[in-house]
Structure 1
Amino acid sequence: MNIKLKLTILSFLQFFVWGAWLITIGVYWFGTKNWSGEDFGKVFATLGIASIIMPALTGIIADRWINAEKLYGILHIFYGITLLFLPNITTPDNFFVVMLIAMVFYMPTISLSNSIAFYILKNNNYDVVKVFPPIRVWGTIGFIIAMWITNLTGNKASGNQFYIAAVIAFVLGIYSFTLPKCPPQNLIPKDASLTEKLGLNAFALFKDYKMALFFLFSLFLGGALQLTNMYGDTFLSDFGKIPQFADSFLVKRSTIILSISQISETLFILAIPFFLIKFGIKKVMLISMLAWVLRFGFFAYGGPENGGLFLIILSCVVYGMAFDFFNISGSLFVETTTDYKIRSSAQGLFMMMTNGFGAIMGSLLSGYLITEYFTLPNGDKMWHEIWLTFAGYALVIAVLFAIMFKHKHNPDLMEEVTH
């Protein structure tokens, strides 16, 4: 099989096994199980906890002791096994524990899949910069297809969504053993200190005011990245409690509507080089923060009727800009401002602040706020107020970032990095 096709299948399945439940778990949690929002926040925090601990650990294992493709396959098989337990769990505390175990197996596979693709492409003399992005786009397509399957099979409120993900995780785990070998590269010197082995030497970047400020804003914006994944489908499905909207397309096919967000994400990736060269990293990141304000604001005023449905769709379109512009421009900022000796560790630190500590903060804080201040006695959520609060949070971050963060735009450097 063609190398690029093999890696395309890998990318497709990698995100399929996540998309089958990530967007719809809220409907299952609140609608089927009728569990609390605070506990739901804890469950989503498992993504952050696993993102802090596991990628660095599995990276060391793959660098030193075991082929990356084999470790990747083993992790997916265990991820699939763990998912099989979720539909039969009867308490939120036990669900948290099992989901944490599942995320410990899954989250490191995201970075491992990239490492495997980079190694195989380079080993076969491909231009990674040109070849990898079209392969990675199929990961987003896999995520979208999984969302559609879960919705169209009537499983967005069912535990079957975990079975769907588990079966494909087994397929992916077995498939990974057919990939070209990716042996340990022993890139970490044997005499390296524990700090170097764990990539903790990048924490020295906090001594630099601009880098410290960048990572701080990464933390705060990271708190917003998963909020619509957590609550978006539940929000749209809750319109079904209103009799005249119970059979509306928005309610019945909420997951498909939300998949516009991922479709938008694939399109905005193509626009990033132009925006970075034209406006620079700071302005692109600021555009991302303002896009998050619009993302939440459009949700606040959206609904099943014509004008409201347009706002929901518009919110999903804006998501691509909000998500991509921050993640990719932030990664490029790290790439262009840190020493090459700690660049990989610095990228890991950026991911740790956004998908790790930021995700934990956003998950736990949103769960607490919604439970304490935005849930009616009958259990209904005050969605309008919830989304406006999130929009206000994003707006405060954007204003502070615009005032406090100083960065000089270098168009020539950006053109070199983005091509």
Structure 2
Amino acid sequence: MNIKLRLTLMNFLQFFVWGSWLISFGGYMIATLKFSGVEVGSIFATMGIASLFMPAFLGIIADRFINAEKVLGICHIIGALLLFVAAKVESYPTLYIIMLFNSMAYMPTIALANTVSYNALEKNGINIIKAFPPIRVWGTVGFIFAMWMVDFLGWTKSPMQLYVSAGAALILGLYAFTMPKRPPIKSTDARSFSSSVGLDAFVLFRKKKMAIFFIFAMFLGAALQITNLFGGTFLDDFKTIYPDTFGVKHPNLLLSVSQISETLFILTIPFFLNKFGIKKVMLFSIFAWVLRFGLFGLGNPGSGLYLLVMSMIIYGMAFDFFNISGSLFVEREADLNIRASAQGLFMLMTNGLGAFFGGILSGWVVDHFTQNGIRNWEHIWFTFAAYALILGVTFPFVFKYKHDTAEEKAVNNHF
């Protein structure tokens, strides 16, 4: 099989595994298992905990001891077994432990899949910069396809979503062993643990501008998974008022518009960076989060469906503009010898600390506005919107950065 097709299939399965449960799992835990918001938030926060150290740790294993494609395969096989077990568990403490270990197995595979892809393309003499993005976009397609599959089969409130994910993970785990070999690096260039997690880049905190940026990265990282946690539950709570509406019957299909929007907005980033500069693009992202949450608070699956659709569309700007423009900003501001570490630090602040605190605090907010099992979603979403608004109002005053068109063009060319 053509190597591009093989990598396309690998990336499709990589995110199919995640998309099978990430968006609907919160609704399953609340509606079926009767978990509290704090319990649901803490289980999702396991991804943040795992992201603090596991990608770096297994990255070193792949760099120094075991072929990357084998580490990728082993992780997915372990994840498959854990998901099979999780599907049978109804106890919060037990499910928390299992999903923590599953996060430890899955979260490193995102970077490992990239490593395996880059290696395979390079070995076949294919330009990575040109060839990989069209391959990677099929990962998002896989994520969306998994959401649709679970939705159409009526498994959004069922443990079957975990069985689907486990089956795909097992297939991918075995398939990974067939990929082109990417052996350990036999040189002193292999990254140390401190470099991998971004500890070398902590020197950047000496610069006020960078310290402020990373702090905001953590604060905004707390918002990244909130609608993934509670979007399905939010729509499900309208089943008595709007029982026959599209959003209630097919919550995953409606929520998948967010991922579709993400694939489209990524194409606009070079234009926005060149026109407005990184500071304004990141500011657009923060206020997009205000709209994302605010429109959820105003909308409903009935007469307010258009507001929910608008929220889904704006998600692409909210998610992509911060993650990608932020990564490019770090790439330019960090010295050449610590750029990899700086990117590790950026991920640690957003997907590590940010995601962890976001999961815990969002669960607390949901429980705070829940009385007798009834959730006041307007107050919940407006609280999240207010949080993003505070960040948006504060950011331009404390983050000092001047747009230089020539420099931004250079960044775009790099992108």
TM-score by length of structure 1 reads 0.96
In the superposition, relative to structure 1, how do residues 266 and 198 fare at CA in structure 2: closer, same or farther (>3 Å)?
A: closer
Q: After superposition, where does 1:92-171 map in structure 2 within 5 Å?
A: 92-171=92-171
Specify the SS of the correspondent of 1:240.
Answer: coil
Structure 1 range deviating more: 64-73 or 176-185? 176-185
Is 2:329 the counterpart of 1:333?
yes
Q: CA deviation at 1:115?
A: 1.5
Residue number in structure 2 paired with 1:235 = 234
Give the letter for the 2:15 counterpart.
F
Q: Is the 8 A contact 2:62 2:184 kept in 1?
A: yes
Q: CA deviation at 1:224?
A: 0.3
In the superposition, relative to structure 1, how do residues 186 and 281 fare at CA in structure 2: closer, same or farther (>3 Å)?
A: farther
Q: Is the 8 A contact 2:62 2:68 kept in 1?
A: yes
Give the letter for the 1:415 counterpart.
K
Distance in 2 between the 1:206 and 1:225 partners? 23
In the superposition, relative to structure 1, how do residues 185 and 383 fare at CA in structure 2: closer, same or farther (>3 Å)?
A: same
Q: Is the 8 A contact 2:23 2:147 kept in 1?
A: yes
Q: CA deviation at 1:188?
A: 4.8
Q: Give the percent of matched residue pairs that are identical in Structure 1 and Structure 2.
A: 54
In the superposition, relative to structure 1, how do residues 408 and 301 fare at CA in structure 2: closer, same or farther (>3 Å)?
A: same
Structure 1 range deviating more: 61-70 or 119-128? 119-128
Q: CA deviation at 1:368?
A: 1.4
Residue number in structure 2 paired with 1:220 = 219
Choose the corresponding residue for 1:416, options 373, 398, 410. 410
Residue number in structure 1 paired with 2:269 = 272
Is 2:307 the counterpart of 1:305?
no
Q: CA deviation at 1:52?
A: 0.4
Residue number in structure 2 paired with 1:350 = 346
Residue number in structure 1 paired with 2:378 = 384
Q: Is the 8 A contact 2:53 2:197 kept in 1?
A: no
In the superposition, relative to structure 1, how do residues 14 and 349 fare at CA in structure 2: closer, same or farther (>3 Å)?
A: same
Q: Which runs of 5+ in 1 are unaligned?
A: none
Distance in 1 between the 2:187 and 2:235 partners? 48
Give the letter for the 1:390 counterpart.
F
Q: CA deviation at 1:197?
A: 6.4
Residue number in structure 2 paired with 1:68 = 68
Q: Is the 8 A contact 2:261 2:314 kept in 1?
A: yes
Q: CA deviation at 1:194?
A: 6.2
RMSD, matched Cα: 1.4
Q: After superposition, where does 1:278-289 map in structure 2 within 5 Å?
A: 278-289=275-286
Specify the SS of the correspondent of 2:327.
Answer: helix
Is 2:197 the counterpart of 1:202?
no
Structure 1 range deviating more: 282-291 or 399-408? 399-408
Partner deviation per Cα, 1:10-35 (whole Å, 9 max, x = no partner):
11111000000000011111111111
Distance in 1 between the 2:176 and 2:96 partners? 28
Give the letter for the 2:53 counterpart.
I
Distance in 2 between the 1:86 and 1:142 partners? 22
In the superposition, relative to structure 1, how do residues 98 and 34 fare at CA in structure 2: closer, same or farther (>3 Å)?
A: same
Q: CA deviation at 1:189?
A: 4.6
TM-score by length of structure 2 reads 0.97
Q: Is the 8 A contact 2:197 2:344 kept in 1?
A: no
Residue number in structure 1 paired with 2:45 = 45
Residue number in structure 1 paired with 2:318 = 322
Residue number in structure 2 paired with 1:374 = 369
Is 2:251 the counterpart of 1:257?
no
Q: Is the 8 A contact 2:196 2:344 kept in 1?
A: no
Partner deviation per Cα, 1:174-211 (whole Å, 9 max, x = no partner):
11111111111246558x87644654211121111111
Give the letter for the 1:370 counterpart.
V
Specify the SS of the correspondent of 1:359.
Answer: helix
Specify the SS of the correspondent of 1:303.
Answer: coil
Q: CA deviation at 1:5?
A: 1.1
Partner deviation per Cα, 1:128-183 (whole Å, 9 max, x = no partner):
22221111111111000000011100100000100000000011011111111111
In the superposition, relative to structure 1, how do residues 322 and 196 fare at CA in structure 2: closer, same or farther (>3 Å)?
A: closer
Distance in 2 between the 1:120 and 1:41 partners? 37
Distance in 1 between the 2:171 and 2:249 partners? 29
Distance in 1 between the 2:337 and 2:187 partners? 12
Give the letter for the 2:323 counterpart.
N
Specify the SS of the correspondent of 1:305.
Answer: coil
Structure 1 range deviating more: 108-117 or 165-174? 108-117
Q: CA deviation at 1:418?
A: 2.6
Q: Is the 8 A contact 1:63 1:187 kept in 2?
A: no
How many residue pairs get matched? 413
Distance in 2 between the 1:145 and 1:34 partners? 27
Choose the corresponding residue for 1:397, options 372, 383, 391. 391
Distance in 1 between the 2:194 and 2:249 partners? 51
Give the letter for the 1:416 counterpart.
A
Distance in 1 between the 2:296 and 2:95 partners? 29
Distance in 2 between the 1:330 and 1:280 partners? 11
Distance in 1 between the 2:229 and 2:51 partners? 17
Q: CA deviation at 1:225?
A: 0.3
